[in-house]
Amino acid sequence: MLRNGEIMIRDITLGQYYQADSVIHKLDPRVKLVATIGFIISLFVVDGWIGYVVAALFLACMIKLSKVPFGYMVKGMKAIVFILMITVVFNLFLTPGEPLVTFWKLRITKEGLRIAVMMAVRLSFLIVGSSLMTLTTTPNSLTDGMEKLMGPLKYVKVPVHEVAMMMSIALRFIPILLEETDKIMKAQIARGADFESGNLVKKAKAMVPLLVPLFISAFRRANDLAMAMEARCYRGGEHRTKMKPLRYRSADRAAYCVLLLYFAGCVAIRVCL
Amino acid sequence: MGIIKTNKLTFEYIRRDEEGNVEGITRAVDGVDLDIKQGDFIAVLGHNGSGKSTFAKHINAILYPTEGTIWVDGMDTQDEKHLWDIRQEAGMVFQNPDNQIIGQMVEEDVGFGPENMGVPTEEIWERVEESLKAVGMYEYRKHSPNKLSGGQKQRVSIAGVIAMHPKCIILDEPTAMLDPNGRKEVIRAVRALNDVEGITVVLITHYMEEIIHADMVFVMDQGHIAMEGTPREIFSRVDELKELRLDVPQVTLLAHELRQNGVNLPEGILTIEEFTEALAAVSGHQ
Amino acid sequence: MSLILDHVNYVYGEDTSLAVHALKDINLVIPDGQFIGLIGHTGSGKSTLVQHLNGLIRPTSGAIYYNGEDIHDGDYDKKKLRSKVGLVFQYPEHQLFEIDVFKDVCFGPKNLGLSQKETELRAYAALKQVGLADEYFYQSPFDLSGGQKRRVAIAGVLAMKPDILILDEPTAGLDPKGRDEILDQIAKLKEETGITVILVSHSMEDVAKYVERIIVMNRGSVLFDDVPREVFQHYRELEQVGLAAPQVTYIMQALAKRGMKVDTAVTTIREAGQEILRALAL
């Protein structure tokens, strides 16, 4: 059982960075962030089949360019399929309208079918689109991109740098804490702990011997890390220079143009058709 | 005045019980006086709770003395305007390799210090390259720290300090969590820094074999400096070391036992070669 | 009454491209009452091996028998096995969680479904066995020193009354004083109770003094399995796999090379001293 648990933790590949040498990988993270947001908005702008075909084509081109194997992306999506199914089923059965099929107390309507299919398409495009961003961008450059994009918020007292630093530290410590969880779990099992049987209350109680040491360890690490950062002259975002500053290159400008064209196309489809 | 000088350095902290009432005062560091020359390799020994780590944290201005003074390169650590200069000049490497690496890629971590200091981008890259080369980790620059061994992680941490161009580097039990291979790797890197770059090294440890090459050794016990001298001088005082519950290399211990049994060996033997030479001389006489 | 490993193999991430053959054809017999040192550097498979012994990891192929029964048989009671084969992990103090020391040690026996009285008796006995003074029993485990915390954690496993006690790097991160105290305590425990003890370590010097048998692991295989003095004779092979014999071995080898007639197989300083004195007297 524990082996399954272990594998489960490692299986969450959804949107984990995939190393490859592609145009998309090399784009500035800000471009990819803006593009992802733009793409998601475009999915809600268009509402006809032609629009979806355009979006699908756009997405397919990007995937092709990114050199991330499609199979790899789909594999990572397994965890989401369940949520997708629920949405589809709800829409399918609960939308009132002209009945197509009726059996027992359930009824599928024409409108329901339409909405369900549309939701499924939208959601899966949305997931594929955003995972394409995380697959082609290291978490660190993603945080860098966010920090830079949100930069103006500094002037309204939003601690942009601090939030970005927190995110990047969190990302670094997730694998360490996962490993630690596994170790503590095993150690408590060796002391006869049982994390699996019993009802919900019993299971929740059984988590105490896992969570207390985990929290203590996380605090200890945070404390150590804060000291190490201070010792290395860390004093917030002021006076700080960047080893890898973000600079737009011609490819990034071209990407913005492509994005703009696509978006304009989507709006045109919505307005004209 | 040397690169690090202390005058009656004392650090006390107040112990409190659960309700916050004062239970007592602990003197972690108690009247330490020392003067460390630029370019020296210094080892500070002592068992856990001897005050050696607390002392080390004073050099980097993480802790401030409650009494006495410590100067780093002539700057009083209590003088706030020197704080960042001191932290840049006296770099620090800690015990747990996982809890001091900030970057998600080796090179990004090494660049962290220079970034904080406001070094221009091109120069950061130069510094990162030279520092990673100095500890032999350049080929790993694109790796994730999570995939490295303990010894490699510590070498990355050392590179992160060197990239700040310090005059002095303090290593607080950098090998305590490593296996013998990792320990050797780290000590080799530290010695190279001292020999080649001339950086002053303060190595805090409880492993005796790591101090053999030091210029000067300080042994701490209960916040005091209990012994000081060259490694040879220290190791010739086997009984005192045993009393302080410190390890002595087996070869030193063996020579000591033989001496007590009437074999005329010199005190303070540190290596196997010295031992066999000395023993050959003795048996030749007999 | 013994633990037998029969052609045990273990592969990490078996059906992925990153498969690692962590254990390769391990055959071992661990009889009652032995004091064993399991040596190997990081990644040699020693930690994976010990997790097989109490059924935490299931071998990819091969079988493990405890007292003649296959521990991975469908109806085999794993919980009972884990109480009989006690495993103390590396840095075990990181698993302490209760509000006081005594409660924490009670966790193991309580999980076995023992009565309150029996649980407390065992916890008390275990804390005594690891040499923790009574005054600490009702303190928070987090207020103790590093060495004391580790004792409490070891007591937590001892309270389950194991027949085999496995300690994974019990001295990691301790200073020489703490290390000697813990090892002495374990040796004493072994003497008093007669249980089997497996000490996992990467330091030959630490275990040479205590154990009667050394198993050396390298790259997932058993490289040597013998009494210490025999294992140390292979000091060159040990070096090749990133381990080392105790310094005494090197001293004696260096002396023998110079023509001194000494027994190179001694393992402790006392023996070495006597050997040299004997050779000098000739």
Chains in touch with B (≥3 Cβ pairs < 8 A): A, C
Mutate one of B60, B72, B84, B100 to test the A interface: name it (highest A CB count within 10 A). Answer: B100
Whether C96 has a pLDDT exceeding 50, the answer reads: yes
Distance from CA of A188 to the nearest CA of C (A): 7
Structure tokens at A184: 């503590």
Chains in touch with C (≥3 Cβ pairs < 8 A): A, B
Chain C residues within 8 A of A193 when measuring between CB atoms: 107, 111
Distance from CA of A215 to the nearest CA of B (A): 15
Residue B85 CA to residue B75 CA, distance in Å, equals 9
Among candidates A186, A208, A217 on the partner chain, residue whose Cβ is nearest the Cβ of C94: A217
Chain B residues within 8 A of C203 when measuring between CB atoms: 180
Whether C105 has a pLDDT exceeding 90, the answer reads: yes
Residue A82 is predicted with a pLDDT of 80
Distance from CA of B173 to the nearest CA of A (A): 14
Residue A67 is predicted with a pLDDT of 87
Residues 1-60 of A with CB under 8 A from C: 2-3, 10
Higher pLDDT, B267 or B122: B122
Residue C18 is predicted with a pLDDT of 67
Residue A9 is predicted with a pLDDT of 45
CB C87 within 8 A of CB C37: no
Residue C16 is predicted with a pLDDT of 63
Q: Is B93 helix (H, G, I), strand (E, B) or coil?
A: strand
Residue showing tokens 């006995």: C125
Q: Say if the Cβ atoms of B125 and A232 lie within 8 Å.
A: no
| Band of residue C282 on the pLDDT scale cut at 50, 70, 90 | low
Contacting A with CB below 8 Å, chain C residues are: 13, 51, 54, 56-58, 79, 82-83, 86-89, 92, 94-97, 107-108, 110-112, 142, 156-157, 160
Among candidates B100, B120, B146 on the partner chain, residue whose Cβ is nearest the Cβ of A228: B100
- The DSSP result for C212-245, as a single string, is SEEEEEETTEEEEEE-HHHHHTTHHHHHHTT---
Residue A108 is predicted with a pLDDT of 79
Residue C101 CA to residue C121 CA, distance in Å, equals 14
Higher pLDDT, C39 or C1: C39
- The DSSP result for chain B, as a single string, is --SEEEEEEEEEEEEE-TTS-EEEEEEEEEEEEEEE-TT-EEEEE--TTSSHHHHHHHHTTSS--SEEEEEETTEETT-GGGHHHHHHHEEEE-S-GGGS---SSHHHHHHHHHHHHT--HHHHHHHHHHHHHHTT-GGGTTS-GGGS-HHHHHHHHHHHHHTT--SEEEEESTTTTS-HHHHHHHHHHHHHIIIII--EEEEEES-GGGSTT-SEEEEEETTEEEEEE-HHHHHT-HHHHHHTT----HHHHHHHHHHHTT--PPS---SHHHHHHHHHHHHHH-
Residue B93 is predicted with a pLDDT of 96
Whether B160 has a pLDDT exceeding 80, the answer reads: yes
Q: Say if the Cβ atoms of B91 and A231 lie within 8 Å.
A: yes
Edge-to-edge strand list for the sheet holding B22-36: B22-36, B4-16, B67-72, B75-76
pLDDT tens per residue across span B2-54: 899 999 999 998 877 767 777 788 889 999 999 999 999 999 998 888 899 99
Q: Is B27 helix (H, G, I), strand (E, B) or coil?
A: strand
Residue B194 is predicted with a pLDDT of 93
Interface ipTM: 0.89
Among candidates A168, A227, A232 on the partner chain, residue whose Cβ is nearest the Cβ of B116: A232
Closest alpha carbon to B104 in A11, A176, A178: A176
Q: What percent of chain B has pLDDT over 70?
A: 99
Q: How many CB atoms lie within 10 A of CB A184?
A: 22
Residue A2 is predicted with a pLDDT of 39
Q: Is C37 helix (H, G, I), strand (E, B) or coil?
A: strand
Interface membership of A228 toward B (CB under 8 Å): yes
Residue A64 CA to residue A69 CA, distance in Å, equals 8
Structure tokens at C17: 């491209």
Structure tokens at C231: 């294992």
Q: Say if the Cβ atoms of A175 and B146 lie within 8 Å.
A: yes
Pairing of strands B4-16, B22-36: antiparallel
Mutate one of B60, B99, B105 to test the A interface: name it (highest A CB count within 10 A). Answer: B99
Task: Tell me, yes or no, if the pTM score tops 0.90.
Answer: no
pLDDT tens per residue across span C183-239: 999 999 999 999 999 999 988 888 888 999 999 999 999 999 999 989 998 989 988
Residue B117 is predicted with a pLDDT of 93
**Mean pLDDT, range C149-159, rounded to an integer:** 94
What is the amino acid identity at position A19? Q
Q: Say if the Cβ atoms of B272 and C250 lie within 8 Å.
A: yes
pLDDT-flagged residues of chain A (< 70) = 1-15, 76, 79
Residue B285 is predicted with a pLDDT of 54
Residue B20 CA to residue A153 CA, distance in Å, equals 41
Average of per-residue pLDDT values in chain C = 90
